[in-house]
Amino acid sequence: MEKGLFLFPKKKHLLPKITIVITLLAILSITTAYLILERNKKLAKKEELRLIYNKKEEEKRVQLELENKYNTLLTELYIIESQIEPDIYSILYELNKYGSNYKITDFNYSPGSLRLNVITNNGI
């Protein structure tokens, strides 16, 4: 063989062997590239799903915090309302807005609450 002609030998029986090796290497390279591409697609999908999951978890956490704040404020509001004395004058004013024909049938007072049962033209 002459120097530099290794890839293209003059002997005919070596050409099929080289062609088979090159073909197998090409198939191996293409298969490897395809598998790497598929793996990258799966990793990208996994990352996308992880981001969606994290977003949902963050939304749940924020919602829970808001519910806790709401419940805390509601409790504080109940405490404040229980300490306020009821205003009988504003209650009677509301009754008189709808007419002066009413009858108080039951009256209960305890610190922080006032209960009136009133019969009006519209009912109790």
Q: How far apart are CA 67 and CA 63, in angstroms?
A: 6
| Mean per-residue pLDDT, 14-42 | 92
* 47-77 confidence digits (pLDDT tens): 999 999 999 999 999 999 999 999 999 888 8
Annotated domain spans of the chain: 11-84, 85-124
Rounded distance, CA 111 to CA 115, Å? 11
Backbone angles phi, psi at 60, to 5 degrees: -65, -40
Higher pLDDT, 15 or 44: 44
pTM exceeds 0.85 for this model? no
Give the side-chain half-sphere CA count within 13 A for 21: 6
CA–CA distance from 51 to each of 58, 65, 115 (Å)? 10, 21, 54
